[in-house]
Amino acid sequence: MPRIVCRACGREVYATAPIEQLFAEERRCPRCGAVLQNDRRADERRKVHRRANPQGDPGPPTDAERRVAERRVDRRRDGDGGAKRDSGGWLE
């Protein structure tokens, strides 16, 4: 069963025939009247996986953690947690 979706209101319309075989009035959304199209999410658009492991080594890396030191050097906020006059979030 094809997935036909209204891109205007988001309604998924169930049909037994592909959208190419429907009449013009059947290609309209019953809720809002917009033209129906095939769902873009039905097909896998990505051609290759971005983070594929090497063929001979399928597991996670065996090395130690790359980051040795902590990311933050200074404290993220002051002790009271409020914004100061020279900070970016200060509003007058």
Q: Is there a contact between 28 and 35 (Cβ–Cβ < 8 Å)? A: yes
> Could you tell me the pLDDT band of residue 32, with boundaries at 50, 70 and 90?
very high
More confident residue, 30 or 69: 30
> 80-90, pLDDT tens digit by residue?
656 666 666 66
Please indicate whether residue 27 or residue 78 has the higher confidence score (pLDDT). Answer: 27
Between the alpha carbon of residue 35 and those of residues 17, 26, 31, 38, the distances in Å are 16, 9, 11, 10
pLDDT digits (tens, 9 = 90+) for 40-81: 666 666 777 777 777 777 777 667 767 777 777 777 766 665
Provide the sign of the torsion angle of the four alpha carbons 11, 16, 21, 22, taken in this order: negative
